[in-house]
Structure 1
């Protein structure tokens, strides 16, 4: 049950950070949003690991952590860009298929959920995709193709992150998150330097953009802990409910319409969560 609660906490953190990231990417360059948020996260993690004084993990764990950092950065960049220039009702449901990656990997390695858990996973994932589909999105929009492509990139990136972070955090969660974030910041800074772009923001933008980084590492920590307490596939599906959080915030803050299909999807996902919790 603790693993379920931690994974749901991760979904809350990621969902809020996605909402803020999508908003800030409409007024600031994407590279600025990523660099400020990820650098904030890195600074906090350096302080955390230094305070704990945990020895450096095995090289294989560090490699998995670096992979997780690159994958998550690519996924967040694709998601934020997709939400800024594409259609949320297309980007979000495609990105919501990310848990398929660790789920398939778990099945291949023999981590088979119990029947009730498997049914709950299926309900939560299907409900997530349904919830993410906006009621007025048609496939003929000129923004449909880029929205699908950004959604696929986000899905692959998040799915790889789920799997790699689970593998990396077995020895120490703090070091896994630190190496992942260091890799992410290095990659972002390299892209900015190569493209000779300026990091532009105002003082008013800084608190909200830095808060994105705090939310991301908090959610990452909760997910990494949950995936090691329970099955990575279950933690990934529950963590991916962050899409529902993002949609709820859009409804509350931006007054975006929530259609009957989305309401049904949310209800279906919640039934899935109950099934998973009961079987855990």
Structure 2
């Protein structure tokens, strides 16, 4: 069940990232982030009341751990979106998606053990995700491209480290206060911090100007909240290394949405990466 929850998280994360990329082009990175945090907070408030998990929020230890790791997660998302904004997705995506490898390494170092088949599956998935998201750079100005690639790569490396640490650390608050409550605290925290961030930077959030734009940020907020919650629930069923490997399929999901809706074309190496990723996930799940 842990791997199944991880796969559900992957689908939601991948779809949310695709929608967030489109929304960021319309209203900007920080405005998209703010909208998705507010939407997630409202949704999770309802879910806490329905599931009765709100009772666990009163754990001081759980609140502290959730606040810490969800803040690290927020910083990782900001770095990722910033990297996609200043660099090329063909460079940023494979570097940032390697955060799952960081999580697995931290989990194994902490004492988790997996059998040989699962370990091989983890390796195949990591290689597959990287192959699937690497694309040949388009022709253009070499000087301009090199500066954009360098900037995007630096942000992607930072995102990978932050997200990898956050997804490893989330097990602590999840075991204490539950998956829904953990993400709820993160969304509440982000809904306060992001407006302060914009105010300090003397920026004004840009709201969607049409119905389609509102539907887009609504979808991002709902899917991202459900993705994180699915991952957290998966942690209650299985080891971190297994759940995060299943969730790493999100990069392939985003890529496939680009093919289906954005009419993008994949190279042979990317299709090979997709197949390799599915094979790795299958081995981990079995």
What's 1:48 paired with? 47
What's 2:10 paired with? 11
- In the TM superposition, residue 137 of structure 1 has moved relative to its aligned partner by 6.1
Please give the alpha-carbon distance, in whole angstroms, between the structure 2 residues aligned to 1:141 and 1:131. 22
What's 1:79 paired with? 80
Partner secondary structure for residue 200 of structure 1: coil
Partner secondary structure for residue 142 of structure 1: helix
Please give the TM-score of this superposition, normalised by the length of structure 2.
0.91
Q: Please say if 1:145 is aligned against 2:150.
A: yes
List aligned pairs for 1:33-182, cutoff 5 A: 33-51=32-50, 52=52, 53-136=54-137, 141-171=146-176, 172-182=178-188
List aligned pairs for 1:218-229, cutoff 5 A: 218-229=226-237
Aligned-residue CA RMSD (Å): 1.7
Partner secondary structure for residue 64 of structure 2: helix
Partner secondary structure for residue 98 of structure 2: coil
Please give the alpha-carbon distance, in whole angstroms, between the structure 2 residues aligned to 1:5 and 1:57. 30
Please give the alpha-carbon distance, in whole angstroms, between the structure 2 residues aligned to 1:110 and 1:158. 20
In structure 2, the gaps of 5 or more residues are none
Whether the 8 Å CA contact 2:246–2:284 is kept in 1: the answer is: no
Whether the 8 Å CA contact 2:108–2:241 is kept in 1: the answer is: no
Whether the 8 Å CA contact 1:120–1:275 is kept in 2: the answer is: yes
Give the counterpart of 1:203 among 207, 210, 224. Answer: 210
Please give the alpha-carbon distance, in whole angstroms, between the structure 2 residues aligned to 1:87 and 1:277. 32
Residue deviations 1:2-58 (CA, integer Å, cap 9, x gap) = 111110110000001101111111121211111111101011112222341424353
Which 10-residue stretch deviates more, 221-230 or 149-158? Answer: 149-158
Whether the 8 Å CA contact 2:183–2:229 is kept in 1: the answer is: yes
Partner secondary structure for residue 110 of structure 1: coil
Q: Please say if 1:243 is aligned against 2:251.
A: yes
In structure 1, the gaps of 5 or more residues are none
Whether the 8 Å CA contact 1:96–1:129 is kept in 2: the answer is: yes
| Residues 31 and 235 (structure 1), Cα distance of their counterparts in 2 relative to 1, 3 Å cut | same
Please give the alpha-carbon distance, in whole angstroms, between the structure 2 residues aligned to 1:150 and 1:109. 27
Please give the alpha-carbon distance, in whole angstroms, between the structure 2 residues aligned to 1:210 and 1:31. 15
Please give the alpha-carbon distance, in whole angstroms, between the structure 2 residues aligned to 1:213 and 1:174. 14
Partner secondary structure for residue 229 of structure 1: coil
Residue deviations 1:106-130 (CA, integer Å, cap 9, x gap) = 2222111111100000000111111
Which 10-residue stretch deviates more, 237-246 or 158-167? Answer: 158-167
Partner secondary structure for residue 99 of structure 2: coil
Which 10-residue stretch deviates more, 101-110 or 239-248? Answer: 101-110
Partner secondary structure for residue 99 of structure 1: helix
Residue deviations 1:118-166 (CA, integer Å, cap 9, x gap) = 0000000111111111133699733111111121122122212211222
Partner secondary structure for residue 40 of structure 2: helix
What's 2:19 paired with? 20
What's 2:284 paired with? 276
